[in-house]
Amino acid sequence: MSRVDVDGFMRTLLIIDDQPSVLQTLDYVFSLHGYRTLLASSGEAGLELAANQSFDAALVDLHMPGMDGLSVCRGLRERAIAARSDARVWMMTAAHTSAMVTKAAEAGAIELLKKPLIVRRSFKRWKITAVGGGRSRRWCRRARRRALTNASRPAEFESAQRGSKPAAADR
């Protein structure tokens, strides 16, 4: 029982995380669902693996020593653009905040997933995006739109939206 795409090839996932237990767990779960996995324990190793192996999607931890997940995501996206291919990158973190969601969207991630991952829900999202379209792409467009809107707003406008006066340092 293997996951095959339209062309009959097994889907390959690149998983990058600095915690060996997370790598082993995700490798086991994805293998059970018929995916081929490529594992890297650092951002640098992940980019090197991406340069030498082809993959359909990547799952990248946000907080890692050395090269962080945002830099890895940007690197994977840049390589995909140079190769004229599509890099689907999901990011994951236990410290899930709206600021991190915005940063992940700006880096080019499809979605920022919260650890621990709820596998059933995650697989549903990956299937939708792999087929083309669906909730994850819509989420990405909205997050990028929010990021652009927030970047262009003056501090006084944001403070007025929250119902407070701007801080003295903002004036």
pLDDT (tens digit per residue) in 45-100:
999 999 998 888 899 999 999 999 999 999 998 888 888 877 789 999 888 888 89
Check residue 145 and give its pLDDT: 64
Q: Where are the alpha helices (DSSP H) in the chain?
A: 20-32, 43-52, 69-82, 98-107, 119-131, 135-152, 155-162
Q: For the chain, list the domains and their CATH numbers.
A: 12-165 (3.40.50.2300)
What's the rounded Cα separation, in Å, for the pair 144 and 154? 18
Say which residue the tokens 């549903």 belong to. 124
DSSP letter (8 states) at residue 134: S
Phi, psi of 47 (to 5 degrees): -65, -35
C-alpha separations of 30 from 38, 44, 152 in Å: 11, 23, 40
Rounded Cα distance, 17 and 50, in Å: 14
Q: How many C-beta atoms lie closer than 10 Å to residue 132's C-beta?
A: 8
Q: Give the model's pLDDT for residue 76.
A: 92
**Number of C-alpha atoms within 13 angstroms, CB side, residue 47?**
16
Q: Answer yes or no: is pLDDT of 159 > 70.
A: no
What pLDDT, in 10s, does the model give residues 110-157? 888 888 776 666 666 555 454 444 444 555 566 556 655 655 555 544
Tell me, what's the pLDDT at 170?
47
Q: Letter for the amino acid at 5?
A: D
**Could you tell me the pTM of the whole model?**
0.67
Can you give the C-alpha Rg of the chain in angstroms?
18
Q: Are 73 and 104 contacting, i.e. CB atoms less than 8 angstroms apart?
A: yes
Res. 6: pLDDT tops 50: no
Tens digits of per-residue pLDDT, 7-49? 455 688 999 999 999 999 989 988 888 889 999 999 999 999 9
